[in-house]
Amino acid sequence: MKQQKRMLRVLADNKGFNPKVLKALGKRLKVGIIDADLLDHGTRHPNLALEKIAGYCKSLGHEVRLICDYNELDIQLPFFPDSCDYDVLCLAQVFKFTKRPKVIDFLIKNHFIFYGGTGFLAEFEDDVKQLPNLPHEVEHHHPDYTLYDEYIQKQTGGDPKLIKRRFDDYVSYSIGFTTRGCIRQCAFCVNRELKKVVPWSPVSEFMDPKRPRIYLWDDNIMAAPAKVFKKVMEDLQATGKPFQFRQGMDIRLMTDEKAKLFAGVKYYGDYIFAFDHYRKDDAHEWKQVEQTIRGLEIWKKYVTKETKLYVLVAFDGLDYQDIEGAFWRIKILMEYGCLPYIMRFEDYKKSQYKTLYTQLARWCNQPSFFKKMSFRQFCIRNEEYHQGIQQPVKNGKYPSRLKFPKGFTPKPTFCACYRAMIEFEEEYPEIAKKYYDLRFEDLKDTFKNRKL
């Protein structure tokens, strides 16, 4: 019995998941699955690789369980590995900033755990090509969508409303990649292993008939060969289920044929594209801008549904020009009736304008604010809340100047939002004059009259 509970030491390299170890033992094992991101800070999405590993292990007859708390492992190092109740442990980590307890690092160092994921990029000198991939038979195994059920039950008590609000992506979607690879090789992206787009998994490989919707993690579906793109769209449409591509799609590759296909399918939620470039002083950058505008022109001919574009900031620079570039792209998207979603590269924290980056994201990433208020109005509304006052909204328009009621004694300090706005305006009044008062409602669908 003691031998059954003794954790197996992975004698070779424990980077990535090695199914040969499980097959060679020929006995029923107890497999513990660890989602490091989930246990540290929570995640919106389930870890698809772990669901595939769980599905594969169960197909071999092994007992599989998601670790809901590190304390459950009950690892006592003086008595390790006899103190561990699992035969095999598998850990995945997506984000580099995720924190792990020291005992997990001990297991990794001493080859007592399989581990992988982009969160370990630093260990591979940021070379994504060195990251271990799932073996073919695991990568193309049907995911075990029940893996997170126990965790969700513990977090919500089974409350359907709470499950819907916090874990909808875990319980309502089939998840997969119909294609892999990207032609762009962007420096900020971790998916740079495949330099072309290739077919990956048929929809049937990861679809659960009981789940109402599908979402796709394809790296760049727009760069797929025309026949592949059409086949993927037809297969998704044939399921009868609404679906969504979650990555920012490459609108620079938009064609009339692709736009027509998107317009005719059962799409769920916002269409999401990307608008990463803005620099006019770089010929390559400006070409990307022109291709983005051309893609938007084609898109608007066929699709009226709400469309969102990721706006990358703090990557090409951390100065006032990057802030201006963000506002410039926001203005263009307003004119096309599209919503911006600010994606802050991690270096934004090093910028003197880090608070302004945060306020831009707060404004743009909440459509209920963005659609009704200019950036100035948004910041003023925040300051009103800070001061405990509220100016009236007249004719559907929010105040564009901060006014205090007669006899009111304002607080001696401004809120972070208002302070960031006025400090940048004092430093760069021309940029503020050009962009602070633009409103989505005023510019929406005026793109026919615009000039680059």
Domain parsing of the chain, residue ranges: 1-170
Work out the pLDDT band at 218, boundaries 50, 70, 90: very high
pLDDT digits (tens, 9 = 90+) for 349-384: 999 999 999 999 999 999 999 999 999 999 999 999
Work out the average pLDDT over 116-121.
Answer: 87
Q: Which amino acid is at 401?
A: R
pLDDT in tens, 438-448: 999 999 988 87
What pLDDT, on the 0 to 100 scale, is given for residue 286?
A: 86
In this structure, the number of other CB atoms found within 10 A of the CB of residue 224 comes to: 26
CA dist 346 → 273, 328, 354, 357 (Å): 20, 21, 10, 11
Instruction: Provide the H-helix boundaries in 140-221.
Output: 149-156, 160-171, 203-206
pLDDT at 14: 63
Q: If DSSP codes are grouped into helix, strand and coil, which group holds residue 339?
A: strand
Average pLDDT over residues 168-191: 87
Assess whether pLDDT exceeds 60 at residue 24.
yes
Residues 406-420 have a mean pLDDT of 94
pLDDT of residue 389: 94
- Please tell me the chain's helix, strand, coil percentages from 3-state DSSP, rounded to the nearest 5: 45, 10, 40
The stretch 165-181 carries a mean pLDDT of: 97
> 12: pLDDT confidence band, cut at 50, 70 and 90?
very low
pLDDT tens, position by position, 229-251: 999 999 999 999 999 999 999 99
pLDDT of residue 2: 39
Per-chain mean pLDDT for the chain? 90
Reported confidence tier of residue 1, pLDDT bands at 50, 70, 90: very low
Dist. CA 304–CA 224, nearest whole Å = 24
In eight-state DSSP terms, residue 243 is E
Reported as a pLDDT band with limits 50, 70 and 90, residue 54 is very high
Confidence band (pLDDT; 50, 70, 90) for 451?
low
| DSSP 8-class letter at 162 | H
pLDDT at 6 over 60: no
What's the first-to-final CA gap in the chain, in angstroms? 73
- Two tokens at 93? 């980590």
Percent of the chain with pLDDT over 70: 90
Lookup: tokens for 115 = 């581990």
